Copies of this chain bind each other. A is one copy, B any other.
Amino acid sequence: MTTMAHEGQTLAPTTHEELESILASAHTAARSFGELLPSARASILDAIADALEADAAELVAAAEVETNLGSARLAGEIKRTAFQLRLFGNVLRDGDFLDVRIDHEDPDWPSGAARPDTRRTKIPVGPVLVFAASNFPFAFSVAGGDTASALAAGNPVVVKAHPGHPRLSERTAQLVISACRSAGAPEGVFALIHGTEAGSEALKDHRIKAAGFTGSIPGGRALMDIAMSRPEPIPFYGELGSNNPVFVTPAAAEARGDAIAKGYIASFTVGAGQFCVKPGMLFVPAGTGMLEKLRASSLPDGNKMLNERIRKGYVESLQKLSSLPNVEVLVQGHSPLSTTPSPTLLITRAKHVLAAPRELESECFGPTSVVVEYDDISELVPLAETFEGQLTATIQGEDDCPVQDLVRVLSEKAGRVLWNQWPIGVAVTYAQHHGGPYPASTAAATTSVGTAAIDRFLRPVAFQGFPQHLLPPELKEDNPLRVPQMLNGRR
Contact = CB atoms under 8 A, between A and B. Distances in A.
B489 A430 contact: yes
Given A228-B228, A438-B232, A491 B486 contact: no
Interface stretch (A7-15, A58-66, A333-341, A458-466): A458-466
Contact of A418 (B425, B458, B465): B465
Q: Which of the listed residues A102, A111, A118, A414 has the most CB atoms from chain B within 10 Å of its own CB?
A: A111
A419 B110 contact: no
A309 interface: no
Nearest to A442: B233
Nearest to A486: B430
Given A228-B228, A404-B470, A431 B462 contact: yes
A484 interface: yes
Contacts of A83: 110-112
Interface string A213-246: 0000000000011001100111100000000000
Chain A's interface size range is: 35 or more
A300 interface: no
Interface stretch (A119-127, A129-137, A313-321, A348-356): A119-127
Interface string A405-425: 001100110111111110001
Contacts of A412: 31, 123, 126
B123 A428 contact: no
Contact of A470 (B79, B403, B458, B486): B403
Contact of A427 (B109, B466, B491): B109
B101 A417 contact: no
Contacts of A419: 463-467, 470
Contacts of A444: 125, 235, 459
Nearest to A428: B111
Contacts of A111: 79-80, 83-84, 87, 427-429
Interface in A13-61: 31, 35
Interface centre among A228, A232, A464 (most CB of B within 10 A): A464
A437 interface: yes
A431 B103 contact: yes
Interface in A418-462: 418-421, 425, 427-433, 435, 437-439, 442-445, 447, 451-452, 455, 458-462
A432 B120 contact: yes
B465 A420 contact: yes
Contacts of A459: 437, 444-445
A431 B87 CA distance: 27
A452 B102 CA distance: 13
Interface in A377-412: 388-389, 399, 403-404, 407-408, 411-412
A232 B388 contact: yes
Contact of A469 (B79, B399, B420): B399
Nearest to A113: B425
Contacts of A407: 466, 470
A96 interface: yes
A76 B112 contact: yes
A307 B68 CA distance: 68
A71 interface: no
A41 to B, nearest CB: 17
Contacts of A126: 412
A123 B411 contact: yes
A263 interface: no
A384 to B, nearest CB: 13
B119 A431 contact: yes
A204 to B, nearest CB: 14
A467 B399 contact: yes
11 contacts: A83-B111, A111-B428, A118-B429, A118-B431, A228-B228, A232-B438, A235-B443, A404-B470, A418-B464, A418-B465, A419-B464
* Across the A-B interface, the 8 shortest Cβ-Cβ residue pairs: A101-B431, A433-B462, A79-B112, A120-B431, A103-B431, A421-B465, A83-B111, A118-B431
Given A79-B112, A415-B462, A421-B465, 6 more contacts: A83-B111, A415-B461, A416-B462, A417-B462, A417-B466, A433-B461
